[in-house]
Structure 1
Amino acid sequence: MDKKDIKLTSSEIGTLWGQYMNGTAVEIINTYMLSIIEDKKIKALFENAMRTFGKKKKQIITFLKKDGFPVPIGFTDSDLNKGTKRLFSDIFCLHYLHIITLHGLLGHTTSISSFIRKDLRYFYDSCDNDGKRMYHQTTELLLEKRHFQRDPYFFPDENPEFIQGQDFLDGFFGNKRPLAATEIIAL
């Protein structure tokens, strides 16, 4: 089989469709936030995020059209209530961008396993690289502005212990015990 003739599979179409829908939803939220943000550094990150997704959106459209699939309608400017008074602080917007970037990173990492075609694998690699870059930028700016919320510290016992009996499980059913570090991650 000629690699250039590989058609999109159902999982590839679904993944591209999902990224387009999620991306256009985030794009509308980012458009609103960009319109209210006053802090120059935060505004610059949002402008970068908007440019980056704009390029990705064009690539997704190209992939779909090339194989004869319609472009999803997605979210558009008609979903944005322009002129709405300010709802969020600049710092809230920065936290939002940080968290949505984390969700994007998870999605890109999962999505790459759906693709066989080289062009799509490299596309998702670039999405992942852009996401990692944005993650580092939002983290650094949150730290600079002293608004990065760190996980709680953990103070372990001096010696490791093996779980014996039901004591460890009793923590789930009434008796209290300290949380394990792996349980804190999930919170």
Structure 2
Amino acid sequence: MDDKTNIPLTAAEMSGLWTQYMGDTIVVCMNSYFLEKVEDEEIRPIIEWTLDTAKENISIMQELFQKENFPIPIGFTEQDVNTKAPRLFTDTFFLKHLSQLAVFAMTSSCGGLTVSTRPDVVAFHKRILNKGVELQDRTRDLMLKQGIYVKPPSIPIPKGIDFVEKQHYLTGFFGKKRSINSQEITHLYLNTLINTIGKELVTGFAQTAQNEDVKQYFLRGKELAQKYIDIFSNFLTKEDLPAPVSSGSAVLNTTASIFSDKLMMFHVTAMVAAGIGYYGTALAASPRRDLGLKYISLIPEVALYVEDGANIMIKQGWMEEPPQAVDRDKLIQQ
């Protein structure tokens, strides 16, 4: 029987592995720092587990890359983090960041599973998915125990089955609007929550960035995150529904260099790029026109922010290239 692991990696498989490798090297750097600073002994085991998982992922991918003679990405190393630097975030932020990491892991692994062919790559993405689910369970359970978990809004259980009968269901600009439905509520809640965590992250990064362009980029990200928090929250509060709110300042007063500007830029642009996908999903699930058009208006703004971040990284020589197709025109000219 043929060994199916001997077939070449597809572009999709290369992309998924390369992206996962870059992400896991960031996870190692950040959680090494978190582990050094955490005070809550209930959070510490989750950080340790996440750190060990990321290191295991990296080892699996390195072995696979070596087998394929695939250049191992540089990613991020101990040179990109100072674990002895002063404390920047609260323990609560560590836990919320881990919860968000679980969401990203589940999302990326599902995407990888959709387009992977080789059994070893499929098995690896299944591992990422299972680990993401476990991390989500661990963080959710502890946040519930500590009373800091922000639940989505509740609405009454329907009394029966209804079908949409009028175009009024889609309107949202003039006259009386229909109430937002459960799908629309879910995405407004999720996007508010993601931007709340993102704002806390870029605030801390802005305090500790060394390069002035990077610092200003993070300050701009902080303003955008607050703008989006206000937009999504207002949709909820106008429907007399609670919006996720920060439980307090998650960022402490240190300005010492902790993470390299290179690491912080890659981390933020990757998170924001993922946010574009969340807005696209929310757009597809929001038939009320005012909601849909609001998401449409935000996507180009977020994409421009990601592009500006990429330009900073290119200027500084920080942007590691993912695998690319052959440039046939350039090859012919040679």
Report the TM-score, using the length of structure 2 for normalisation.
0.52
| Structure 2 contact 27–54 (Cα < 8 Å) conserved | no
Where do residues 164-179 of structure 1 align in structure 2 (5 Å cutoff)?
A: 164-173=165-174, 175-179=176-180
* Structure 1 Cα separation of the partners of residues 3 and 162 of structure 2: 58
Where do residues 1-187 of structure 1 align in structure 2 (5 Å cutoff)?
A: 2-155=3-156, 158-173=159-174, 175-187=176-188
- Corresponding pairs, count: 187
* Secondary structure, aligned partner of 2:43: helix
* Secondary structure, aligned partner of 1:95: helix
* Secondary structure, aligned partner of 2:42: helix
167-176 or 104-113, which deviates more: 167-176
User: What's the CA shift for 1:23?
Assistant: 1.4
* Secondary structure, aligned partner of 1:155: coil
138-147 or 2-11, which deviates more: 2-11
Which consecutive residues of structure 2, in runs of 5 or more, have no partner in the other structure?
Answer: 189-334
| Structure 1 contact 13–64 (Cα < 8 Å) conserved | no
Q: 1:170 to 1:11 in 2, by over 3 A?
A: closer
* Secondary structure, aligned partner of 2:127: helix
Q: Which amino acid aligns with 2:21?
A: Y
Q: Deviations over 1:129-170 (max 9, x none)?
A: 122111111111111111111000112564554434343233
* Structure 2 Cα separation of the partners of residues 130 and 87 of structure 1: 27
Q: Deviations over 1:91-137 (max 9, x none)?
A: 11101101111110111111012222112211221221122111111
Q: Which amino acid aligns with 1:12?
A: E
Larger relative contact order (CA 8 Å, sep ≥ 6) = 1
* Structure 2 Cα separation of the partners of residues 84 and 101 of structure 1: 26
Report the TM-score, using the length of structure 1 for normalisation.
0.90
* Structure 2 Cα separation of the partners of residues 184 and 144 of structure 1: 25
User: What's the CA shift for 1:183?
Assistant: 0.5
| Structure 2 contact 31–51 (Cα < 8 Å) conserved | yes
| Structure 1 contact 101–135 (Cα < 8 Å) conserved | yes
* Structure 2 Cα separation of the partners of residues 157 and 170 of structure 1: 22
